[in-house]
Amino acid sequence: MATHVDSPPDSPGSPDGPRDGQRAGLPVWQELLLLLAVALVLAILIKAFFLQAFYIPSASMSDTLVTNDRILVQKVSYWGAKSPARGDIVVFSDPGGWLSASESAAPGGPLVRGLEAVGLYPTGGHLVKRVIGVGGDEVRCCDSHGRITVDGVPLHESSYLAPGTEPSLIHFDVKVQKGYLWVQGDNRSDSADSRVHLGDPGGGQVPVDDVVGKVFAVVWPLDHARMLSRPATFASVGGPPGAR
C-alpha cells in the first residue's frame, strides 16, 4: 500500500522558493517610485550645496553671456574663507529693487516652477554680473584714457567687453565696503549694474552674502556651450583678489 507523504515547505534550494542570500524583489512600480524619490533627493541636495542652473534673461552680459543662455553656477567656489574675486562672473539675489517684475519671474507654468524648485530647471529672479571691485577697493571711472581703475590700476577689459564698447559712460568714484562687491555687466551700455544704483541704499554695492555662486559654464544652447574662467585683467591689481 502506497504511503502518502506531505510535501515539506519550500526549502531555500527549491526552484519555487527564494535561494540562500536572496530576498523577493520589489514590484517594478515600487522600484520606479524609489528611484524617482532618490533622484529627487539628490537633485535637491545638489542644488542646495553644489550646483544650480540659471537662465540669462537679458543682454546685460553680452557677448560673454547672451539672452536665454543656460548657465551652471558653482556654489562650492565660495565655501569657507573663500570669497568672490575680481573678474569672477557671479549670480546673486536681488539686493533690492534691481529687477523689474517681469525679470523676477522665470518663464513657464506650474510644472516648470516645480522643476525649478528642486533644481531640475534653470532658475530666474537673480542677477548675473562681473565682479570689478571687492571690499577695500577704490573703483573709479575714468582715467584720462577712459579706463576704469581699481586702486589706481587701469583695467584693460578688451578680453570680455564687446568691440567698440566703452568701459563706462557713467562716472563714479567709490570705496567698496568690507563684505560687499562692485559689479558691472560686460555690455556696459545696456546693464543696470552697480553704477546705475549709486543713489540706492547701499550705493550700488552688493553684499557678498547675496551671492549664490560663480558662473563656470554655459550649457545651452549647444553652439554657445563652453567653460568660463577668470580673465587676467585684474592680475596687476595689488592685494588679494577676493573680498576683504
Residue among 58, 60, 83, 168 flagged as catalytic: 60
Residue 208 has pLDDT above 90, yes or no: yes
Q: What is the pLDDT of residues 79-138, one digit of tens each?
A: 665 789 999 999 998 888 888 655 555 556 665 555 555 555 556 678 999 999 999 999
The question of whether 11 is a catalytic residue gets the answer no
CATH number 2.10.109.10 is the correct assignment for the domain at 52-101+127-234: yes
Beta strand spans in 100-207 (E):
126-134, 138-141, 149-150, 153-154, 172-175, 180-184, 206-207
CA 229 from centroid of its chain's CA atoms: 14
Domain ranges for the chain, please list them. 52-101+127-234
pTM: 0.74
Residue 159 has pLDDT above 50, yes or no: yes
Average pLDDT over residues 61-71: 92
As given in the structure block, the three cell numbers for residue 117 are: 524648485
Residue among 62, 75, 83, 129 flagged as catalytic: 129
Q: What is the pLDDT of residues 9-59, one digit of tens each?
A: 554 444 555 555 555 566 777 667 766 666 555 555 555 556 788 888 889
The question of whether 129 is a catalytic residue gets the answer yes
152-169 as b/e: b if 16+ CB within 10 A: ebbbebeebbeeebebbe
Cβ(150)–Cβ(239) below 8 Å: no
Cβ(119)–Cβ(207) below 8 Å: no
pLDDT for 81 equals: 59
CA gap 172, 154 in Å, rounded: 14
